[in-house]
Amino acid sequence: MSERTLMGNGLDEGDTDASHHSVKKVDPGKPASLTWKRKLNGEGCVPSMFTLTFRQKLQMAPIGITLFQHIREQSSNGRRGFIDPFVNRYITSSDGVPLGGVGAGSIGRSYKGEFQSWQLFPRICEDNPVLSNQFSVFVSRTSGKKYSSVLCPASPHLVKENAVSGIGSWDWNLKGNKSTYHALYPRAWTVYEGEPDPALKVVCRQISLFIPDNYKESSFPVSVFTFSLYNTGKATADVTLLFTWANSVGGVSEFSGRHSNSKIMMKDGVHCILLHHETADTQPPLTFAIAAQESEGVQISERPCFFISGDSPGITAKQMWQGIKQI
């Protein structure tokens, strides 16, 4: 979670004219000139289901029987088959640029802002989004006005969440009609134009790392997110950016137990949270690392753990959210 102050002219406090520098820097808040674009409230063209004729079913029966026998054999040995056509898949038309994707797994991301299509283990893909994994923004102006929202349009899946203490209690105020997603792999930009604050433009840039002559690190499911804020209002704005992440590898794995979170302080003002995940189904354990760097005018704070649903003792998702709104 980070917080910074914007002046009425759209610059951060302490910003100076950088025109005297000889090195030309890339503007992280400016999307590339040629990108794939979508409005966040767009539904796209959802792939439709199809059926086979009786003759086609007869022709494909030998393949189906072979696949069924293979899947049954793999299951008896405690393994998953490389393909399982008998499993219902989560179908969506909102896929965007994933985190990673070169070789050692990836985490998909929709153009609406959802983290989905978890492919962290061979032959396994958890399609459904983990809705608690979100970026959110809180704006407080000297004029007294306040705005807050998750930076993702409200999902119909939220009706199943605990609205009393879970993530359903958060402010899902983003409509998405003024916000645009730009994609040019391995980069993506989401431009929130006047949402939720009409006088604030927020640009989120996502980039997966591709290191020349280094396939190993380049293949990791890693991504960097940068945010650029532009204040077009007359009043100064204090802006808090929140990033929440469940200790999950997709599906319902966050409820499998034996997970733990910890925080460490690194060099150069880098704050880091480690999420240690004890994976079930004989898969190896893994650790997520989430880091953010302090700089002039940017302060970082962290909370290693809160409960995203249910009535467990401890800080709930609602209490965490309300605490930030009161800052």
Q: How far apart are CA 110 and CA 104, in angstroms?
A: 20
Q: What is the DSSP string of 163-223?
A: TTTSGGGS------TTEEEEEETTEEEEEEESSSSTTEEEEEEEEE---TT-HHHHTSS-E
Edge-to-edge, what's the strand order for the sheet holding 270-277?
A: 260-265, 270-277, 286-293
Structure tokens at 299: 């302060």
Task: Please give the pLDDT value at position 307.
Answer: 83
**Which amino acid does the sequence have at 236?**
T
Task: Locate the domains of the chain by residue range.
Answer: 2-11+84-325
Asked if 114 and 157 count as a contact pair (C-beta separation under 8 A), the reply is no
Query: Average pLDDT for residues 185-200, to the nearest whole number?
Result: 94
Is omega for the bond preceding 186 within 30 degrees of 0, making it cis? yes
Q: What share of the chain is helix, strand, coil (3-state, %, to 5)?
A: 15, 35, 50
* Range with lowest mean pLDDT among 67-81, 110-124, 220-234, 311-325: 67-81
**pLDDT interval class at 280 (50, 70, 90):** confident
Quick check: pTM over 0.85?
A: no
* Distance set, CA 77 to CA 59, 71, 86, 104, 160 (Å): 30, 10, 19, 24, 35
Q: What are the pLDDT digits (tens) for 129-172?
A: 998 999 999 999 999 999 999 999 977 666 455 566 688 889 99
Whether the per-residue pLDDT at 196 is higher than 80: the answer is yes
Q: How far apart are CA 116 and CA 109, in angstroms?
A: 6
Query: Average pLDDT for residues 245-270, to the nearest whole number?
Result: 86
Output the average pLDDT for the chain. Answer: 85
